[in-house]
Chains A and B, each alone.
Chain A
Amino acid sequence: MFWLSLLGGVFVGVCNGFFGGGGGLIAVPVLAILLKMEEKFAHATAILVILPLSVFSAVVYLISNPLNWLEVLWVGIGVIYGGIIGALLLKKLSNKALTIIFAVIMLIAGVRMVI
């Protein structure tokens, strides 16, 4: 269990550091499937894992890429409102439809970034 967790952390860290996000997409399955945590514990604990990783990664990015803090603030405000709306919406919309829509958006975004 210890080694699985340690190994899982490597992939979460690489994803979080290199892509600036997305570590949760690895952390949740590692916790739920490899470490046999129940889904909701896995989702919650994944945030616990990603937080310190994000702090350290953010420091590295900030040193190399100066940011306009006012702009960051506006994004942050949007994220907070969005987070609340998203959490509320989650109860009301169908899982399958959501996942497919999300996957389609991701695919389009991915293609746009490559072209």
Chain B
Amino acid sequence: MKWLYLFLVGLFGGVVGGMGMGGGTIMIPALTLFLDFSQKVSQGINLLVFIPLSVVALFIHGKNKLLKPKPALPMIFSGTIFAIISSIIAQYVKNETLQVVFGYFLILLSIFIFINAVWKKKKSKC
């Protein structure tokens, strides 16, 4: 039965991600809360699963000529370095601590999204 739950969590994460809303931010809590994976394992799974998904997406976006790699190159350069450093640091943080920090991150993010949505609503009413 566990395979079904794994599939459903993936499905849920994929739907949210497919709508362009950052599927990982929902999938990681789902893996941790419903499937009892440790925070680092959930984060690792999210990273892994993103790879084939993004390859396919990039292929489609590339065909539709939606990619602008040049401005992004510096970002990729610094991003890679800091991603590696941050991932290594994360391994030294306790799972429980990482989970709590991630939780606060989600709370802040949701507040930011609320504010953004309300602000956009006000703008369109003007």
A48 contacts B42, C-beta separation under 8 Å: no
Which range holds the interface residue count of chain B?
35 or more
Q: Is the interface of A mostly helix, strand, loop or mixed?
A: helix
CB distance B7 to A18 under 8 Å? no
Q: Is the CB of B26 within 8 A of A113?
A: no
A35 touches B71 (CB 8 A): yes
**B23, A79: Cβ atoms closer than 8 Å:** yes
| Bound Cα distance A3, B28 (Å) | 32
In the complex where A35-B71, A47-B54, A48-B72 touch, is A14 in contact with B106 (Cβ < 8 A)? no
A104 CB → nearest B CB, Å = 7
Contact with B along A13-31 (1 / 0, CB 8 A): 1111111111111010011
CB atoms of B24 and A22 under 8 A apart: yes
Interface residues on A, range: 35 or more
A99 with B29: CB separation less than 8 A? no
Q: In whole angstroms, what is the CA distance A106 to B102 when docked?
A: 11
- On whether the beta carbons of B29 and A58 are closer than 8 Å, the reply is no
A28 to chain B, nearest CB (A): 8
Contact of A20 with B71 at beta-carbon distance under 8 Å, contacts A53-B79, A86-B17, A106-B110 already known: no
Chain B residue contacts of A17, Cβ below 8 A: 82-90
Contact A85 B55 (CB under 8 A): no
How would residues 71 to 105 of chain A score, 1 for a CB under 8 Å from any chain B CB and 0 otherwise? 11011111111111111111000001011101111
Contact of A75 among B6, B17, B68, B105 (CB under 8 A): B6
B12 contacts across to A, CB distance below 8 A: 78, 82
